[in-house]
Amino acid sequence: MRKLVTPYGQNYGVLSFASDHGLYDFIEAYGNGDSGIYPGSGPEGHCKRFGIEIRNVNSHDNVLGYSGTAGNGTWTRNSRFHHNNAGISDDSFATGHPGMPQDCSKWTANQVYSNNENFFTQERQDYCRSTPFEKRPKEIVCPQFQVPVGSGFILYGVNANLIQDNAIYDNWRSGVRLFGVPAAVRGENDPAKQNDTSHGNKFLGNEMGLSSGGSRLPNGEDFFWDEQGIDNCWLGNEAPGARITSDPPTLPRCPDGSKSPVANVAKLAQEAPCATWDAETNPRPPGCTWFDTPPKPDQ
Rounded CA separation 283/104 (Å): 33
| Strand partners for 28 | 5, 58
Q: What is the pLDDT of residue 211?
A: 94
The alpha helices in 132-277, defined as continuous H runs, are 265-271
Name the residue ranges covered by the structural domains of the chain. 2-276
Sign of CA dihedral 282, 67, 35, 95: negative
Instruction: Please report, in tens digits, the pLDDT of each residue of the chain (299 residues total).
Output: 899 999 999 999 999 999 999 999 999 999 999 999 999 999 999 999 999 999 999 999 999 999 999 999 999 999 999 999 999 999 998 888 889 999 999 999 999 999 999 999 999 999 999 999 999 999 999 999 999 999 999 999 999 999 999 999 999 999 999 999 988 888 888 888 888 899 999 999 999 999 989 999 999 999 999 999 999 999 999 999 999 999 999 999 999 999 998 899 999 999 999 999 999 999 999 999 999 999 999 87
| β-strands 246-247, 223-225 pairing | parallel
Helix (H, G, I), strand (E, B) or coil at 31: coil
| CA neighbor of 105 nearest in space, from 88, 122, 130 | 88
DSSP assigned state of 93: -
Rounded CA separation 257/103 (Å): 17
Q: Assess contact for 206 and 239: CB atoms under 8 A.
A: no
What's the one-letter identity of residue 213? G
Does residue 218 have a cis bond before it (omega within 30 degrees)?
Answer: no
Q: What is the pTM of this model?
A: 0.96
Rounded CA separation 194/80 (Å): 34
Sign of CA dihedral 156, 57, 108, 16: positive
| β-strands 151-156, 174-179 pairing | parallel
Phi, psi of 220 (to 5 degrees): -55, -50
**Helices (H) and strands (E) in the chain — how many of each?**
2, 24
pLDDT tens across 164-180, in order? Answer: 999 999 999 999 999 99
Q: Assess contact for 22 and 51: CB atoms under 8 A.
A: yes
| Strand partners for 39 | 16
